[in-house]
Amino acid sequence: MASPTASAASAVSYLSPWPGVAERPIPRGRLLFRGSRGGSSPLRLNCARRNALPPAPRAAKALAAENADALNVMIAGAPASGKGTQCELIKAKYGLVHISAGDLLRAEIATGTANGKQAKEFMEKGQLVPDEIVVNMVKERLLQEDAQEKGWLLDGYPRSYSQSMALENLGIRPDIFILLDVPDELLVERVVGRRLDPVTGKIYHLKYSPPENEEIASRLTQRFDDTEEKVKLRLQTHYQNIESLVSIYEDVIVHVKGDTTVEDVFGEIDKLLASSLTKKTEMVASS
């Protein structure tokens, strides 16, 4: 039986462009995003180019009335950036409804909803689930009472220009978009050292979180794509995808260094969220 982590990773693979093939949307005016060149050039975003991009149009109206006490947050990070850990800390501190598109997709398939049945047909053929199906799943989840009252934390989605524009057109927009930045060398080290215990589903790391004993160590397995070559392809895709989102969320994106301790990373995120909540409260009060 696959572990929850493995299942989630499997589901997520149907939500994004194939590794190394980031989406290239139809040019809109001067807005055209190109993939990174090959070779040894850095995978990071070109800040000068990023800042030069024109802002995308705003959605005309929101899904529901603003709740001054509820934050709406998007968070993104490369594989092994620590995003999952930070999501748990954010959820615990702010009480936000944590929504992962991969988990949502698996749940809808498991319960046999109309969206889930459509998605399953594509997945069984080895095809990516169309954006409109996943966006509809996300929209319906965000409209549920708990997300409206408590606010939401959208984890790792959208992943492309078309997905983000679909959300914009539905009036789904975050108060803040957190982007975790971790050096590529550290990301590769984190990924390549990961191991899974197939018995308990627990994730270990050979350097940072080694197994408790030899018995556990002997049965650990490595994900097929947790190799240096494949993680570099995944990183390239991640940076290309993030670049395609910048023009849409440039006024709410905040960069957080993710190569410090878990506590320090969350400390910075906490400050940013508290500031965003204060601004939102003041804005709603004055409107």
Which residues carry out catalysis?
83, 159, 194, 223, 234
Q: How many Å apart are CA 12 and CA 175, to the nearest integer?
A: 24
End-to-end CA distance of the chain: 52
Q: How many Å apart are CA 205 and CA 128, to the nearest integer?
A: 30
Helix (H, G, I), strand (E, B) or coil at 216: helix
**70 in Cβ contact with 125 (< 8 Å):** no
> Can you tell me which residue has the tokens 């689930």?
129
**144 in Cβ contact with 104 (< 8 Å):** no
- Token pair of 25 as six digits: 């949307």
- Token pair of 207 as six digits: 């350097």
